[in-house]
Amino acid sequence: MIGIDLIKTSRMNRLIERFGDKALQKFLSDDEISLVKNYKTASGFWAAKEACSKALGVGIGSECSFLDITVYKTSKGAPRLKLSQKLLNNFNITDSSLSITHDGEYAIAVVAIESS
């Protein structure tokens, strides 16, 4: 299953300017917030979570919340996903892949999910 999402980074910038860390806390864990360098990074994380929920075929909602999906970085800085036990069980997930890119004022994420 594959999901993709695109966000205009200025949208995230306005959200952070208006609400500060409270905006980030709506969709990121404390560990994720510590990885956010700026609004562009936050935009990439948003896109990653949206892309993941789309790959699951449900979107963000009762079956899959923002906090069921955690973005982290490998020792080499590559983004990865950690999914909640609820998602792993409900969707029989065996593996996932994530790619995030930024170009100009956009952040794009693609997620591939394998299930049994």
Q: Show which residues are catalytic.
A: 54, 102
Which segments of 1-116 does DSSP mark as H helices, in order? 9-19, 21-25, 30-35, 39-56, 85-90
- Contact in structure between 29 and 72 (CB atoms under 8 Å): no
CA distances from 77 to 5, 67, 74 (A): 21, 21, 5
